[in-house]
Homo-oligomer: A and B are copies of this chain.
Amino acid sequence: MGRQIAYDPVEMRRRLLDQFWAAGFAETSLSDLEAATGLNRRQLYNGPGDKRAMFLTALDDFSDVAGRRFLAALEDARSGLAEIAALLRSFVALARAGEGPGGCMVCSASQEEIARDPDVALRIDAYFARIEQAYRTALANAAGRGEIRLSADQLESRAAHLFGLHVALCILGRAGYAPDRLERMAEDAIAGLT
């Protein structure tokens, strides 16, 4: 019972995500969140809770959205070198387009003070692990299909390596680093796969 909410909670979470994605935790104020959602702060507090709780749900939403958009293709059983190359190149294309919030919310958040919060750290670690696992999966698929030859140890290291490139492309993309340099970065990594 009780009065029903006058806004779309799904849309609200989407806008909270956009705001936190673009500006991080510390540099997002409650006033920013009000402006992003069109709600006042008393309404915001009817949702997940305080600013930190809103950030936690935004991190969860990011993992969901970005995981589906970027990692799902690698996590698929049919993935291989082509999907790895496509993903790295997509970051270059995104940097070139300059659209959207920019970069990876988790990568950027990992540099903030709030990353020391246990609940935040848990989510950051989980998303990092998922990225690395996605590359591991795609590499294992490629090896199983005979696209490449890798020992188990090499596969581990190669996955870590690709994860590093992934992070660098996200960080530098957000930083506005020259897309041409990012392209070289990605292409050299792709060339090193075979």
Q: Is the interface of A mostly helix, strand, loop or mixed?
A: helix
Q: Indicate whether A12 reaches chain B with its CB closer than 8 angstroms.
A: no
CB distance from A97 to the nearest CB of B (A): 18
Query: How many of these chains are in the complex?
Result: 2
Q: Does B27 lie within 8 Å of A112, measured CB to CB?
A: yes
Binds B, one of A49-57, A141-149, A182-190: A182-190
User: Inside 8 A of A187's CB, which chain B residues have their CB?
Assistant: 157
Residues 140-181 of A, flagged 1 when their CB comes within 8 A of B and 0 if not, give 000000000000001011101101110111011011110001
Binds B, one of A1-9, A65-73, A77-85, A102-110: A102-110
Interface size on A, residues (CB 8 A): 43
User: Inside 8 A of A163's CB, which chain B residues have their CB?
Assistant: 168, 181, 185
User: Inside 8 A of A176's CB, which chain B residues have their CB?
Assistant: 115, 121
Interchain CB contact (< 8 A) of A161 among B113, B158, B189: B189
User: Inside 8 A of A115's CB, which chain B residues have their CB?
Assistant: 175-176
CB distance from A128 to the nearest CB of B (A): 6
How many angstroms between the C-alpha atoms of A132 and B164 in the bound complex? 16
User: Inside 8 A of A192's CB, which chain B residues have their CB?
Assistant: 161, 192
Q: 19 A–B contact pairs at CB < 8 A? A: A23-B113, A26-B26, A27-B112, A110-B171, A110-B175, A111-B174, A115-B176, A124-B175, A128-B172, A157-B188, A157-B191, A158-B188, A161-B165, A161-B189, A163-B185, A164-B165, A167-B171, A168-B171, A192-B192
Sorted from nearest, which 9 A-B pairs have the closest CB atoms? A164-B168, A110-B175, A157-B188, A161-B188, A160-B184, A160-B185, A157-B184, A168-B168, A164-B185
